[in-house]
Chains A and B, each alone.
Chain A
Amino acid sequence: MPYSKTSKFERELFSEFMRRLTNVVPSVEVLERELMRFSSSIELSRSELNQVLYSLERVYYILLLMRELQEYFKDKIQFGGGVVLNYIFMLRIDVPRFTFDLDSSWNLRVNSKRSVLGEIVSFNKYLAEKYSLCLPISSDKCVELMIVEYDIEKDYFPQILSLRLPVITRWSGLEFYKYVKTNTSLELEYSTLRKLRECFKNVLGVRDAKIDYIRFEITLKPIYPCVKLDVELPFNLGYAKLNITELEYQLASKLVYKIGWDFREKLRDNLHDVLKAVLDMRLLNIASKYKFREYVEKLSSSIGFKIIDIRGNMKRNLVELLRVGEEFWTGFHYILVRAKYRDISSLVRSIRRNLEESLL
């Protein structure tokens, strides 16, 4: 049967989408290679390996987003937090804990979030031109993905702008047709659904691809010391020159505001964050102890504390963590750390010793 003009257009729309999809979504080979690297020093069961593999797809997008943000905004932005600590620093010395939120800070003074949101519109233009991932929803119309959105539901603080990036994944998020329905109120026609499933099967190896959000935050009033790092990113993402909040500063703020904070009766609610911070303290082994202590002193005095107070709070918090920390420890985010260290108590104790020494 000869193709009509419309069906030719439609075929081009879908084949273009498939081509773009291949460029954006990480191949299973790339993910498996990283899986081997992440888990080379530990033993994982088949099901644990799968769980790690599924998470790595999201880690890929986080690092891709970080690379693009840096490339586009240059010195206007810098990165810190769990993603940098675990996927940039920790990979050099130990297994990372999984974390899926990218933290960054804006290096220009702005009065309100709308100025940065305006900059995000320009960034979206850059992303759309580079990746141009438009999900076809009819013979001639599509919905743009890989476009950053303001995440109003997660935006709690006046000085922190919460954003999210919808991406196509194999394993996490909402099925693509549900996503389309939720976001556009449109029900995909069966023929479109069938064609999209075919595309996804060919490129991703799954029929019902999903759409998940990669979340990130930009802090608007930064005071963080910054270093430029030349980093080879995992997942074959190449080299990137990243603006990173100094490692010692990051560790010091984790100590002062998490491990050594006086949570009082809210300690139980914050123990999970304390555990994360404790695990990140494994990086003390590659940090300058002198600088770390200096930052701890500076940050403590800025809130009217002395190092002795921080130590006292730390002792109390870690005792509680050792008492009830098991329930957090079994969480999925620690799958790699758990496989390597097995016992939370000995790990926490060894990190505590290291911290005590650094604060002497």
Chain B
Amino acid sequence: MLVEVLGSKVRAAILLCLVKASKLGISVTPRSIARVFGVNFTETYKFMKNLLGQEFVEKTPRGFKLTEKGLKLVDFTLTLIPSPKSWSSSELDWVRKNIPDTLYYISRPHTQTWFGPAPLLLVVDKRLQDRIVFPENFVLIGDYVESSKYIVRGQITNILVLYASLRGREYKYSWDNYLTWGSLEQSYADLLSYMPFWEEFLPDILLNSKLFDLDKLFKKASKKGKKRLATGIAYYATLTGWKPILKTPLYSLVDERVIGRVISITPYLLDSSVLVSKNI
């Protein structure tokens, strides 16, 4: 409905971003909108200039934001964002309506098959730190690790939040569900780097390694994430004789301290009859 009413994806993208960013008192740039929404940059810039000419937006040192006049568009625009279907997450609907789409993305286990429902990782631009008041069920990564309250996942916590710089990260807005998602490699790199139960995402990567650009995965991961990934790959290579073809020097990144956690996923890497008969 959003695109149909506003007439084009460019307009919808700009209005969505301006409205949500202005609610938080920050600016957006045509370049980031064009990149995240996958729309034409020239068209984006042209429409922004139109809005500027009509005094709906004003120029700031860091981009554009809505003027007093423009703020009148907020409620109207927000009503155009589709509501979730009955089965989809209310937390994601909150993200959809409140966080500017160029300033966050969600890392999810794209190929997850093994561990059932797990919290999603919401990576938010660190510029928004202290500007957002998250509802219940959104927990900052640091708090999650520290508090036993969140140990039973999937029941209490649905979204873990990480504030970080978004520079160099790969994410795109989805016109299907009106949310911004990390790319396959970016998502798994984040899940391995920041999630408290990171090892649970290794089987997805190891069993579907052909879907991944493993070198890119290494590039996107944090220092810790690189070590976890390298140890996971090295263990799987030892276990199965798999020969990963990499530019990244794998074994220099292997971390003995995480091997214990990596071997705990063995039941998800081999057939159970093999595990039992060979006592693995």
* A binding-site residues for B, Cβ under 8 Å: 112-115, 117-122, 124-125, 127-129, 137, 140-144, 147-152, 155, 158-159, 183-184, 186, 220
Q: Which residues of B contact A120 (CB under 8 A)?
A: 238
Contact check, A114 vs B280: say whether CB atoms are below 8 A apart.
Answer: yes
Contact check, B280 vs A112: say whether CB atoms are below 8 A apart.
Answer: yes
Within 8 A of A (CB), among B246-280: 246-247, 250-252, 254, 256, 259-260, 262-263, 266, 274, 277-280
Chain B's closest residue to A135 (CB) is: B243
Contact check, B251 vs A125: say whether CB atoms are below 8 A apart.
Answer: yes
B33 sits at the interface (CB 8 A) = no
Chain A's closest residue to B269 (CB) is: A114
Apart from A143-B245, A147-B238, A183-B241: 9 A-B pairs, beta carbons within 8 A = A124-B238, A124-B254, A125-B254, A125-B256, A128-B250, A141-B245, A147-B237, A148-B238, A149-B240
Q: Which residues of A contact B245 (CB under 8 A)?
A: 137, 141-143, 184, 186
Most B CB contacts (10 A, CB to CB) among A112, A113, A122, A125 go to A125
Question: What are 19 of the A-B contact pairs (CB < 8 Å)?
Answer: A113-B280, A117-B235, A117-B238, A117-B266, A118-B259, A119-B259, A121-B231, A121-B238, A121-B254, A124-B234, A128-B250, A142-B245, A150-B239, A150-B241, A152-B240, A152-B241, A155-B278, A183-B241, A184-B243
Q: Which residues of A contact B254 (CB under 8 A)?
A: 121-122, 124-125
Contact check, B252 vs A118: say whether CB atoms are below 8 A apart.
Answer: no
Contact check, A113 vs B238: say whether CB atoms are below 8 A apart.
Answer: no
Query: Shortest distance in angstroms between B77's beta carbon and chain A's nearest beta carbon?
Result: 48
CA distance A117 to B262 in the complex (A): 11
* B binding-site residues for A, Cβ under 8 Å: 231, 234-235, 237-241, 243, 245-247, 250-252, 254, 256, 259-260, 262-263, 266, 274, 277-280
A122 and B259 in contact (CB under 8 A), knowing A112-B280, A128-B251? Answer: yes
A121 and B259 in contact (CB under 8 A), knowing A158-B279, A183-B243? Answer: yes
Query: Shortest distance in angstroms between B257's beta carbon and chain A's nearest beta carbon?
Result: 10
Query: Shortest distance in angstroms between A337's beta carbon and chain B's nearest beta carbon?
Result: 34
Summarize B's interface: helix, strand, loop or mixed. helix
Tell which of A118, A122, A152, A183 touches B274, judged by Cβ atoms closer than 8 Å.
A152
Contact check, A118 vs B262: say whether CB atoms are below 8 A apart.
Answer: yes
Chain B's closest residue to A145 (CB) is: B243
Q: Which residues of B contact A152 (CB under 8 A)?
A: 240-241, 274, 278
Q: Which residues of A contact B274 (CB under 8 A)?
A: 152
Contact check, B252 vs A128: say whether CB atoms are below 8 A apart.
Answer: yes
Chain B's closest residue to A120 (CB) is: B238
Contact check, B238 vs A125: say whether CB atoms are below 8 A apart.
Answer: no
Q: Which residues of B contact A150 (CB under 8 A)?
A: 238-241
Query: Shortest distance in angstroms between A264's beta carbon and chain B's nearest beta carbon?
Result: 26
Q: Which residues of A contact B259 (CB under 8 A)?
A: 118-119, 121-122
Query: Shortest distance in angstroms between B34's beta carbon and chain A's nearest beta carbon?
Result: 31
Chain B's closest residue to A134 (CB) is: B249
Q: Which residues of A contact B279 (CB under 8 A)?
A: 112-113, 158-159, 220
Contact check, B260 vs A144: say whether CB atoms are below 8 A apart.
Answer: no
Q: Which residues of B contact A147 (CB under 8 A)?
A: 237-238, 251
Query: Shortest distance in angstroms between A119's beta carbon and chain B's nearest beta carbon?
Result: 8
Q: Which residues of A contact B256 (CB under 8 A)?
A: 122, 125
CA distance A142 to B231 in the complex (A): 18
Contact check, B235 vs A121: say whether CB atoms are below 8 A apart.
Answer: yes
Chain A's closest residue to B233 (CB) is: A121
Query: Shortest distance in angstroms between A128's beta carbon and chain B's nearest beta carbon?
Result: 3
Q: Which residues of B contact A220 (CB under 8 A)?
A: 279
What 3 A-B pairs have minimum CB-CB distances, sorted nearest first? A128-B251, A158-B279, A149-B241
Chain A's closest residue to B259 (CB) is: A118
Query: Shortest distance in angstroms between B142's beta carbon and chain A's nearest beta carbon?
Result: 29
Q: Which residues of B contact A127 (CB under 8 A)?
A: 251
Query: Shortest distance in angstroms between A107's beta carbon and chain B's nearest beta carbon?
Result: 18
Q: Which residues of B contact A113 (CB under 8 A)?
A: 278-280
Q: Which residues of A contact B247 (CB under 8 A)?
A: 140-141
Tell which of B231, B238, B246, B280 touches A149, judged by Cβ atoms closer than 8 Å.
B238
CA distance A128 to B240 in the complex (A): 18
Chain B's closest residue to A148 (CB) is: B238
CA distance A114 to B277 in the complex (A): 13
Contact check, B278 vs A129: say whether CB atoms are below 8 A apart.
Answer: no
Contact check, B237 vs A149: say whether CB atoms are below 8 A apart.
Answer: yes
Chain B's closest residue to A113 (CB) is: B280
CA distance A144 to B247 in the complex (A): 11
Query: Shortest distance in angstroms between B208's beta carbon and chain A's nearest beta carbon?
Result: 16
Query: Shortest distance in angstroms between A67's beta carbon and chain B's nearest beta carbon?
Result: 19
CA distance A147 to B251 in the complex (A): 10
Contact check, A141 vs B246: say whether CB atoms are below 8 A apart.
Answer: yes
Query: Shortest distance in angstroms between A145's beta carbon and chain B's nearest beta carbon?
Result: 9
CA distance A137 to B247 in the complex (A): 11
Contact check, B240 vs A144: say whether CB atoms are below 8 A apart.
Answer: no
CA distance A124 to B235 in the complex (A): 10
Q: Which residues of A contact B231 (CB under 8 A)?
A: 121
Tell which of B237, B243, B263 touches A114, judged by Cβ atoms closer than 8 Å.
B263
A144 and B243 in contact (CB under 8 A), knowing A114-B263, A125-B251, A125-B256? Answer: yes
Tell which of A124, A125, A140, A158 touches B278, judged by Cβ atoms closer than 8 Å.
A158
